[in-house]
Amino acid sequence: MLYKFAAWLSKIFFRIFYKASFYGLENVPEQGALIMCSNHISMLDMFLFGPMIPRRIYFMAKQELFKIPVLKAILKSLGAYPVNRGRGDLYAAKTTLKLLEEGKIVGIFPEGRRRNISKKKQKPKSGAILFSIESGAPIVPVGIFGNYRLFSKMCVFYGKPYYPVPNSGKVSKHEMDALAQDLMDRIYSLDKR
């Protein structure tokens, strides 16, 4: 119930205060496991692109946010789950694969942390690629463009789903990094403003 209310509130908030426009929503499958990957420029990102999808999205969120009791309760009610950034997190990996096995949508920010628009692009993490290969779930790249200044224009573009395809049976770290970079290139190429 809280998720539906938060989604409704988010839609109104972003339409009024950020003149948000959304493109390519028809690219998001109506059913089945799915990984949605977006660039990450603000803590507001998940509230901007997630609620426009009629299906619930379960987001990975940095574990530090779950140390604040009130915020932890809100995040969990919205379907977020913690991930320990910087090293392998078995709990987050198992949770992600279980959600995908159940046919749910998982939201991941491959850059791993927010990126200031004026700064150089960060090297993406390859977790989303691994989850896609392991689960067979397609990835929908999502591009968020704008600066989150009040009453400025924000644009969200939903790309077509795709399957990252490794060249060989056993995927090397180098190939995983290349597939992760390809994902980020797909995300940034969505900017049609």
Amino acid letter for position 128: A
Greater confidence, 98 or 174? 98
The predicted pLDDT at position 26 comes to 96
Q: Classify each residue of 12-50 as buried b or exposed e, where b means 16 or more C-beta atoms within 10 Å of its C-beta.
A: ebbeeebebebebeeebeeeebbbbbbbbbbebbbbbbb
- Is residue 148 within 8 A of residue 41, CB to CB? The reply is yes
Q: How far apart are CA 30 and CA 40, in angstroms?
A: 24
59-111 pLDDT tens trace: 988 888 888 888 887 777 778 898 886 667 788 899 999 999 999 999 999 98
Amino acid at 138: P
Give the model confidence (pLDDT) of 36-58 as tens digits: 999 999 888 988 998 889 899 99
**What was the pLDDT predicted at 2?**
73
CA–CA gap between residue 120 and residue 110 (Å, rounded):
15
- Residue in the block written with tokens 């850059």: 111
pLDDT at 87: 67
Which pLDDT band, with edges at 50, 70 and 90, does 178 fall under?
A: very high
Judge contact between 120 and 188, C-beta under 8 A: no
What per-residue confidence (pLDDT) applies to 118?
46
Q: Tell me which H or E stretch contains 34.
A: strand 34-38
**Tokens 């950034």 — which residue?**
85
Lowest-confidence segment of 44-53, 168-177, 182-191 by average pLDDT: 168-177
Strand order in the sheet with 105-108: 21-23, 155-158, 139-145, 34-38, 105-108, 57-62, 81-83
User: Is the model more confident about 171 or about 140?
Assistant: 140
Helices and strands: H and E segment counts in the chain: 6, 7
Domains located in the chain, CATH noted: 2-188 (3.40.1130.10)
pLDDT tens string 144-168: 999 899 999 999 999 999 999 877 6
CA-based angle 17:19:23, to the nearest 5?
A: 140
